[in-house]
Every structure is written in structure tokens, then in C-alpha cells.
Amino acid sequence: MNVLVVEDDKELAAILQRGLQEQLYAVELAHDGESGRHLALTGDYDLILLDLMLPILDGIAICSQIRSQGLQTPVIMLTARDSVDDRVLGLDSGADDYLVKPFAVSELFARIRSLMRRIASRTTETLSVGELTLDPSTDYIVRDGRESSLTAREFALMQFFMEHPNKVLSRTLILEKVWDANYEGLSNVVDVYVKTLRQKLESDGEDRVIKTVRGRGYLLVG
């Protein structure tokens, strides 16, 4: 697996590089935002570890720009800023996960394994529910002919909804199936991702297809 590490703390970057290489990952380093953005867009990576606070261009800007250009490589954002607003901002920019410094390298590896398992378990068949079509060959969700690209985590969440249409899915169940039973990140991460999916599915003012069932969870209308 090829990993891009964008981290301006060279000591931490070296620690991550050694740890990842011990797990037999190929690692490339960038120490500023502009170099990181360039490598992300021109290289072939299976995962990007992206610091939030970077010189020249910060992690939020990098993530937003690569997503806007259609790059859906999984991104785990690393940062010392641990407020809920900061974490939501990172996820809203297109990150698949968010890890607060200082962290144990073993925790990072656990997050990587969890994210890679979700990607490996994704469907290979096109799913259709009502107006929606989920195409694994392109990472697109299509609604009435309009395509929207999805990140790895958004795809996993949409797949779970489309495999269980017209059923109320609790936040706990979604977290267990789409993230991990032992996930200890942002408590409202499901709500954050449902919000981003709604923004993509309703960008032209369409009716809501992922409905909130108060006190119970979410339901995809088929």
C-alpha cells in the first residue's frame, strides 16, 4: 500500500514513516501544503495522512482542493486542534477520518485498518434504490442523472443505506457497520456525514431521501 504523509513536524513525519514501513507500506513525505497537494494530485496513493496546520497551504484547503478535482483517495487528518468545530471542519472538507495529536501509532494503525476494511468490503455491483444509483466503478452517486463523487467513507455510508432501504437505522448501528464497534472519534460523526450526503443529493433542491427519524436514527426512502 502506498501512503503519502503530509506533515511539517519532521520528527513526527519520520516516526510515522518508520512505523508505516515496518508494516510494509511504501511511504512518501511532504513537509508543506503546496508540496503535499502536488503529490496528492500527481501520485498514486492508497491513503493520505494529512496534517491540518501546514505552511503555505493548510490541510483543509488541500483536502477541499483534491476533492473538488475528483480525487477520492482516503484521507486521515492529523491535528492538535481538537475542538468539535475543528473536527467537523476537517470532515466537511472531505476527510474520511480525523485523529487528534498526540496519538499512539497503534491507534493510527487501527484507524487505517478500519478504513481499509470498509473500502475492501464495498460492493462491486451497482446499487439502485428509487431515484438513486450507486456506481462502485466511479465512486459516484447518481440522482436523476446528476452525478456526485463520494469519498471512501461517504461511499461506505451510502452503500449501507442503500442495502437497507426504508428501514430505520440507529446511529449506533451505522457507527458499528460503517466505522468500527470500537470507534472513539467524533461523537456526532454519523450526523456530519449524513449532512454531507444530503448536500450532494439535494444540491438542486430535490426532496430529502435520507430522513431523520427523531430519537431513532435515519431512514433512506426507497
Asked if residue 137 and residue 71 are part of one domain, the reply reads no
> What DSSP designation does 32 have?
S
**Prediction pTM value:** 0.76
How confident is the model at residue 43, as a pLDDT?
A: 95
Which of 99, 120, 141 marks a domain boundary? 120
How confident is the model at residue 182, as a pLDDT?
A: 65
Counting the structural domains of the chain, the total is 2
Q: CATH number of the domain that 109 lies in?
A: 3.40.50.2300
Q: CATH number of the domain that 215 lies in?
A: 1.10.10.10
Q: pLDDT digit string (tens) for 171-203?
A: 999 988 888 766 766 678 899 899 999 999 998
How confident is the model at residue 33, as a pLDDT?
A: 96
Q: How far apart are CA 89 and CA 53, in angstroms?
A: 13
Q: How far apart are CA 85 and CA 68, in angstroms?
A: 22
Asked if residue 184 and residue 107 are part of one domain, the reply reads no
In whole angstroms, how far apart are CA 175 and each of 121, 157, 164? 15, 9, 15
Which of 66, 86, 120 marks a domain boundary? 120
How confident is the model at residue 184, as a pLDDT?
A: 66
Asked if residue 111 and residue 44 are part of one domain, the reply reads yes
How confident is the model at residue 123, as a pLDDT?
A: 77
Asked if residue 135 and residue 91 are part of one domain, the reply reads no
Asked if residue 149 and residue 186 are part of one domain, the reply reads yes
Asked if residue 92 and residue 45 are part of one domain, the reply reads yes
Which of 65, 92, 120 marks a domain boundary? 120
Asked if residue 159 and residue 110 are part of one domain, the reply reads no
How confident is the model at residue 81, as a pLDDT?
A: 77
How confident is the model at residue 167, as a pLDDT?
A: 96
How confident is the model at residue 185, as a pLDDT?
A: 65
Cell numbers at 155, concatenated: 461511499
How confident is the model at residue 29, as a pLDDT?
A: 98
Kind plus residue range of the DSSP H or E element containing 213: strand 210-213
How confident is the model at residue 118, as a pLDDT?
A: 82
Which segments of the chain have a pLDDT < 70?
84, 181-182, 184-186
**Cis, peptide link before residue 102, omega less than 30° from 0:** yes
Domain that holds residue 102: 2-120
Asked if residue 139 and residue 172 are part of one domain, the reply reads yes
How confident is the model at residue 42, as a pLDDT?
A: 95
Asked if residue 65 and residue 146 are part of one domain, the reply reads no
